[in-house]
Amino acid sequence: LQMERELEAAVEKGQLSLHFQPKVDLATGEVIGAEALVRWHHPERGMISPAKFIPLAEETGLILPVGEWVLRAACRQVRAWTETGLYTGRVGVNVSAVQLHRQHLPGLVERVAQEEGCPLDRLELELTEASIMADTEASARALRELRERGIELAVDDFGTGYSSLGYLKNLPLDTLKIDKSFVGDVSEDASDA
């Protein structure tokens, strides 16, 4: 309960920050995009891992304001990079199942991007396989609406759930990010390869 109250205050007090992990084309070495990663700098506990606070945020519904803050901050950064002439490609923003199923996500993304001056075609939303499969019909509708707005869509952690490639091929997805448990030892383990 204390952590829940502190997380709620963290959004209001500016304790969250975004770190950007570059996406690099291995053939050319060129930075082709970035992924926005949220971090919580607690004034007393120091850096709190997203692995600890994101599940709490999802469980309590705080993921809605946290997720909107992340989206807004990522859009603001895209605009800043664009204004200074730095091309970053698309910026990936993680979206939780709660955001996908409890908010009108396409409308929220469009509104926030417009308010922050971020072109929609500079965003890529990353959803986990499990979040999409939680309500397949609603997910498919939301994904189609997002794709129609020019937003690219990625499935993160693919292979950890129960979806089939047959089902996924019917969704408007651009990127399939295979879970690290399948590719972590690809150079040393023949079955992974």
The predicted structure's pLDDT at residue 163: 61
Tokens representing 13 are 């007090």
Q: How is 20-40 classified by DSSP, letter by letter?
A: EEEEE-TTT--EEEEEEEEEE
Q: What is the mean pLDDT of residues 76-89?
A: 89
d(CA 41, CA 167): 39
Tokens representing 189 are 């383990």
Residue labelled with tokens 């509104």:
111
Backbone angles phi, psi at 157, to 5 degrees: 60, 35
Full-model pTM: 0.87
90-95/123-128 β-pairing: parallel
Confidence of residue 166 (pLDDT cuts 50, 70, 90): low
- Per cent of the chain over pLDDT 90 is 51
Tokens representing 98 are 């709660």
d(CA 137, CA 93): 22
Half-sphere exposure at residue 56, Cβ-oriented, CA atoms within 13 angstroms = 15
Q: Whose CA is closest to 146, among 136, 156, 158, 154?
A: 154
Phi-psi region of 151 (alpha: psi -120 to 50; beta: other; left: phi over 0): beta
The packing angle between helices 50-60 and 63-83, to 10°, is 120
The predicted structure's pLDDT at residue 160: 64
Q: What is the mean pLDDT of residues 79-106?
A: 88
d(CA 41, CA 36): 16
